[in-house]
Chain A
Amino acid sequence: MSPPLLGVEEEVQSNVSSPSVDCGLGLKERNYLGLSDCSSVDSSGVCLPDNNKNNLNLKATELRLGLPGSQSPDRETELCLLNSGKLDEKPLFPLLPSKDGICSSSQKNVVTGNKRGFSEVKGYVYKEKNWMFHEAGSDSESPQSVGHGKYPGISGVNVILSAMSHGAQASVTKDEPANVLQKQPHATSGINLKQTDISNNKSSAPAAKAQVVGWPPVRSFRAKTLANSSKNNDEVDGKPGPASLFVKVSMDGAPYLRKVDLRTYSTYRELSAALEKMFSCFTLGQCGSHAAAGKEILSQSKLKDLLHGSEYVLIYKDKDGDWMLVGDVPWEMFIETCKRLKIMKSSDAIGLAPRAVEKSKATN
């Protein structure tokens, strides 16, 4: 397990009720319950080792909202963090490794025994998408309860449980209002469980994200527009986007595929020239036996021969899923329908119409 995961799971143990505050350096003063768990990690990731140490104490000291001895209700396995077997724990301190491995801070967790009942439990939930990866399939997220660590004595710490779509389980150990939290997309008094339509890529949802409602404060128009823009600008296989049209190109015998943006070319010639350049490193090996050994630079014409000659044909997969020979239709039509490219050995192209093989030989 990678350290961050480890850290998370351990943090997960400390259940809901430990108010905590970012204590990447193990600062314990702010936690009024005297708990020293570090729920959030600063970018230096320093917190981790502390977490490991502290977790042992947490369980003993944690203040939980359930009946004494009761465990928190099981969460659905949609929470990847629980897959480690700690199904009874809530991942309240998910460490959020960001892409470059730096732990970004997550949430603060909390909830206090609240004489008013759980309706005052508030806080916020925050999850980074990396963590949601495992939960593919579940659109909703389980809200995690989080909150401030600094509400000494104030009944009702703020935890916002934001469910993305269908009811998510309350991550807070609660008695009866728990089911309220679970199912209601709307807030009961004191609880802000709002189904946010903050643009969050509802349609493309890489993974559902549970978020603080209304945070960050970006106008919903802007958030939606940016979400749509990024969808368009992303490399989506074969999906015609106005900005780019990336398709995978595979070559027989090559260990990995490439991707090309069809919009950067305007003719077949340009495309094949680019492909030649791209795949020259693979054909080098191929023609090693043909060319003189030790030759490092393969001439352009030699490559062309390889690609256009009897060695290889260029085919594409169209919208209907059929493999077609490249070059028959006008360029504009081609880029509209092309989903994938393949550089195939002529010998494998026997399945295509015979004239296709003839044609490729003819272009030699």
Chain B
Amino acid sequence: MLWGSRKTINMNYFPDEVLEHVFDFITSHKDRNSVSLVCKSWYKIEKYSRQRVFLGNCYAICPERLIARFPELKSLTLKGKPHFADFNLVPDDWGGFLYPWIKAMAKSRIGLEELKLKRMVVSDESLELLSKSFPNFKSLVLVSCEGFTTDGLAAIASNCRFLRELDLQENEVEDHRGHWLSCFPESCTSLVSLNFACLKGEINLASLERLVARSTNLKSLRLNRAVPFDTLQRLLIRAPQLVDLGTGSYVHDPSSEAYNKFKAAIQSCNSIRSLSGFLEVAPRCMSAIYPICENLTFLNLSYAAGLQSNELTKLIQHCRKLQRLWILDCIGDKGLGVVASTCKELQELRVFPSNPFDAGNAAVTEEGLILVSEGCPKLNSLLYFCQQMTNAALITVANCTNFIRFRLCILDPIKPDPVTNQPLDEGFGAIVRSCKGLKRLSLSGLLTDQVFYYIGMYAKKHEMLSIAFAGDSDKGMLYVLNGCKKLRKLEIRDCPFGDAALLEDMGEYETMRSLWMSTCDVTLGACKMLAKKMPNLNVEIINESEQTESNLDDSQKVDKMYLYRTLVGHREDAPEFVWLL
């Protein structure tokens, strides 16, 4: 009855342009993917109107097919190597090359405007081709990439006439010194964001000053260590409109003229909301930035090894509006207490180890975390490297139910609760139980199968799980695979999970982006079987020994296995040490 009285509108009577216009409002990748599945005409309309594509694994599809699918592509995000490559678990030359993508897009005359890459190998050649093939190219963001030098950057600077964004985050760049920045032509005035903090070498300071002076839209500027304090001061005078600032060398004599000028300059930069840098820092000069602290929403001092706890806390006491804080563990538990009492808007906290390989000396413990979780009600994202953790602390922290990302790294990876000597199962169990929106979890400490039981039972929204040195048996992994249906990325190292767990539910892997298992109990035979049964998966073994494939028998355990779903089968650029099963 109710149905009958409703007027249904058949959207297919709308002309394509109208549908396209409607689709313009749908920006999330997931939603657009869903839209394209509705019917053929929607698929077609969506296909031609799709401009932004995100590819979490560059080997899931090949460039040609991507271009065929989305010919109007303007913005592409690509991720290459598996996450554990960040920690040296993946040998060089594994893959993730940008060049084929640039070549294919150039050939098909794609009007590429934005490119964002993570963990890819980017050659100078590809940067040069990029700079010459896409006249409207506007934005290049490289995160944790490698393979290029400042010559490639020079090509980008020279040829991309409308460049708005050049953002280099934590890349390994071979620095041929200085001249790339001078390659920005005088006519280039479009820069909005320039981040070269990861470069190690000198740059031409005069060119930098001129560039900043003529880039009136510049909002984000992150300098590298080679830019001295004097220059920083002069840059601030030219760019008081900055929203995001990364200092270069922050060392100067507090009694000097330049320092006084700096203090004056920074006071007029009242748009700055985000501050980073301080790779070199003179602690006594920090007071100069107090005036801008009250407006900061993001503070990244995670590279400021020269600041001690008291300097850090003095600074943070001025930062009442902070939403994101990245800091070194030398801040200490007490310092975190100051954070807890000052930064009531805090959403994201990352505490990095200042001495990563010195487990006895991490300066923060569970106490700091408790203080922050109690004092910052909006906390939803955590990365915490610490000396130790207790179940009681985690249970207390679990009262902060908003966590979306929870990554805990105890520097000694199998350390139990030091008070009770129990594994941390109950603590993490409490976290997954009460944080119903948890999407990303990284575990550490002494853990048994029990924690996986909890994860499987409660962590329904989990998308990414990182496990190391945990569990007792295959059951652990099975709990996870069976319980976390939304899992997209699972990465496991040094756990006693073997063939039974791997092969139990092979279809599961097609719903995930990738699975990494290293130093587990998985055998070559099982991997081969998985590869055979699941043609839509690429199962890759990384073998760094001198044995060849034929020498190993199936019962031997593999050291590193990486599998991912793909539409295009085996990749062609795998190096010798990667076996494609």
What is the interface of chain B, defined by CB distance below 8 A to chain A?
Answer: 84, 86-89, 144, 170-172, 198, 249, 251, 253, 255-256, 279-282, 302-303, 305-306, 352-361, 385, 387-388, 409, 411-416, 418, 421, 442, 446, 448, 466, 468-469, 472-473, 493-496, 498, 518-521, 524, 543-547, 552, 555-559
Task: From known contacts A184-B545, A230-B305, A243-B251, infer whether A219 and B496 are also in contact, taking CB-CB under 8 Å.
Answer: no
Q: Is A219's CB under 8 angstroms from B87's CB?
A: yes
Task: From known contacts A99-B360, A99-B361, A104-B412, infer whether A222 and B198 are also in contact, taking CB-CB under 8 Å.
Answer: no
Q: List 19 interface pairs A-B (beta carbons < 8 Å), by A numbering.
A: A22-B415, A24-B421, A27-B421, A40-B415, A43-B388, A98-B360, A116-B555, A120-B521, A124-B413, A150-B472, A155-B521, A188-B546, A189-B558, A192-B519, A197-B88, A216-B353, A222-B170, A226-B305, A243-B281
- By secondary structure, the A interface counts as loop
Q: Is B545's CB under 8 angstroms from A126's CB?
A: no
Minimum CB–CB distance for B216 against chain A, Å: 32
Q: Which one, A122, A156, A215, A221, contacts B198 given CB within 8 A?
A: A221
Q: Is B279's CB under 8 angstroms from A229's CB?
A: yes
| A220 CB contacts on chain B under 8 angstroms | 86-88
Minimum CB–CB distance for B286 against chain A, Å: 13
Q: Is B519's CB under 8 angstroms from A196's CB?
A: no
Q: Is A223's CB under 8 angstroms from B496's CB?
A: no
A15 in contact (CB, < 8 A)? no
Q: How many residues on the A side are at the interface (Cβ–Cβ under 8 A)?
A: 76
Q: Is A216's CB under 8 angstroms from B303's CB?
A: no
Q: Which one, A130, A154, A212, contacts B360 given CB within 8 A?
A: A130
CA distance A80 to B35 in the complex (A): 66
Closest to B466 in A: A217
CA distance A150 to B472 in the complex (A): 6
Beyond A21-B414, A22-B415, 4 additional pairs, beta carbon < 8 A: A40-B415, A200-B357, A219-B170, A242-B249
- By secondary structure, the B interface counts as loop
CA distance A186 to B171 in the complex (A): 25
CA distance A221 to B169 in the complex (A): 10
Task: From known contacts A22-B416, A220-B86, infer whether A128 and B359 are also in contact, taking CB-CB under 8 Å.
Answer: yes
A129 in contact (CB, < 8 A)? yes
What is the interface of chain A, defined by CB distance below 8 A to chain B?
Answer: 21-25, 27, 40, 42-44, 96-99, 102, 104-108, 116, 119-120, 122, 124, 126, 128-130, 148, 150-152, 154-158, 160, 184, 186-192, 194, 196-198, 200, 209, 211-223, 225-226, 229-230, 232-233, 242-243, 263, 266
Q: Is B88's CB under 8 angstroms from A221's CB?
A: no
Task: From known contacts A126-B412, A148-B469, A186-B545, infer whether A196 and B498 are also in contact, taking CB-CB under 8 Å.
Answer: no
Q: Is A98's CB under 8 angstroms from B557's CB?
A: no
Most central of A107, A128, A191, A218 by chain B CB within 10 Å:
A218
Minimum CB–CB distance for A97 against chain B, Å: 8
CA distance A258 to B86 in the complex (A): 42
Minimum CB–CB distance for A39 against chain B, Å: 10
| B302 CB contacts on chain A under 8 angstroms | 222
CA distance A44 to B416 in the complex (A): 13
Task: From known contacts A21-B416, A44-B418, A216-B356, infer whether A158 and B472 are also in contact, taking CB-CB under 8 Å.
Answer: no
